[in-house]
Amino acid sequence: MKKYIGLIILVFSITISVILIKGRPLAVAKEKTENIPYVKTMMILPRTVKASISSQGIVQPESELILLSELSSRVEWLSPKMEAGSSFKKGDTLVVLDKRDYELALITAESQVLNAKVNLEREQAESELAKKEWKRVGAGLGSDLALRKPQMAQAKATYAAAKASLEQAKRNLSRTIFIAPFDGRVRTSGIDIGTTVFPGTSVGNIYATDAYEVRLPIADQDVPYSGLEFNGQKIEERKRLDVIIIQGKNKWPAKVVRTEAEIDPVTRMMAVVARIDNSDKKMFTTPLAVGQFVQAKISGTNISNISILPRSSVRNESVWVVDNQMSMQNRLVEVLRNEDEFALIGEGFEPGDRLLISRVSSLVNGLKVTLEL
């Protein structure tokens, strides 16, 4: 029996060895399969996109007016709306100057017109009488003096001068009242009741709230994508670029209405001016404020055959892709421009390339990979 036990042990050992040897290639094959990394990719699809140009600026009123006194007088009444920052409506009375001197001047001018008119009518009657008398005596055509032509010319001139003085008196009286020419807001007010003003004295600074402007600098690399001529002229309505004005979570639509023809001496950049229409005050839940710093996105020209990639995937103007042979490849690409978190790529890809978006421990050209489903 002991003799057979040794034989059984020997056979068992041989069998185990054979099984291990046969199973070893399978283990190697499995190990090799496990060494091929699984990666995530995204398709690279060329498309036509509209360039987005970033800029920033400060909100300014489109229409601003300095109220200047044209008379010498004293401030008699001042509207409560003439405080800095206060709003007013078109037609509101903002300031009233002492008008008594100008009312008296109007009465005097009216009297002078009446006197000049009476004198002209009298002179017209006397001139007609002189003509008839000269004709009756039959002494020829008669001289200008005999026919009272100089007197008639003087009477006409006096009447015309009196009417002009009356118009001037009316204008001066109207200038004692400052009426708001538009819906707006007061920027500054430098007078009080009782302040003496003279011709050229500033009464206040007001601006309209129906439209605002933002001056937007354009970087050199963005100028070609604007499609604009920087000639300092207004842009035709059909060629005006769309703009989104951004401040925090608030956004307002705008249009580029004109360009500047000179380079800013500080920023060394060209600039455009965007207009924000605020004529419908109910359109914006959050109103814009003059002096507010805002960001802007300008919608530029169309760019054809562009691939849009995450900006983080581009390193030194190259990207890692998986080609149609399921191998990793590093491609040098043409980065046309960067917009926020995206890069706009022109040339550099091969047909069938997919962008590698997984983190891979070892980036090697030609490394075989498997795509994750």
**pLDDT tens across 318-369, in order?**
999 999 899 999 999 999 888 888 999 988 888 889 999 888 888 889 889 8
Residue with more model confidence, 141 or 265: 265
In whole angstroms, give the CA distance from residue 348 to residue 331.
6
CB atoms within 10 A of CB 226: 20
In whole angstroms, give the CA distance from residue 197 to residue 190.
11
How many helices (H) and strands (E) would you count in the chain? 4, 22
CATH code 2.40.30.170 region(s) in the chain? 53-62+208-302
Residue with more model confidence, 7 or 162: 162
pTM (predicted TM-score): 0.71
Q: Which CATH architecture has domain 66-98+176-207?
A: Beta Barrel (2.40)
Find out if CATH 2.40.30.170 is the number for domain 53-62+208-302: yes
CATH code 2.40.50.100 region(s) in the chain? 66-98+176-207
- The string of pLDDT tens digits covering residues 192-235 is 999 999 999 999 999 999 999 999 999 888 999 999 999 889 99
CATH code 1.10.287 region(s) in the chain? 100-174
Contact 240/68 with Cβ under 8 angstroms?
Answer: no
In whole angstroms, give the CA distance from residue 235 to residue 258.
5
Q: Which CATH architecture has domain 100-174?
A: Orthogonal Bundle (1.10)
Q: What is the CATH number of domain 38-48+304-371?
A: 2.40.420.20
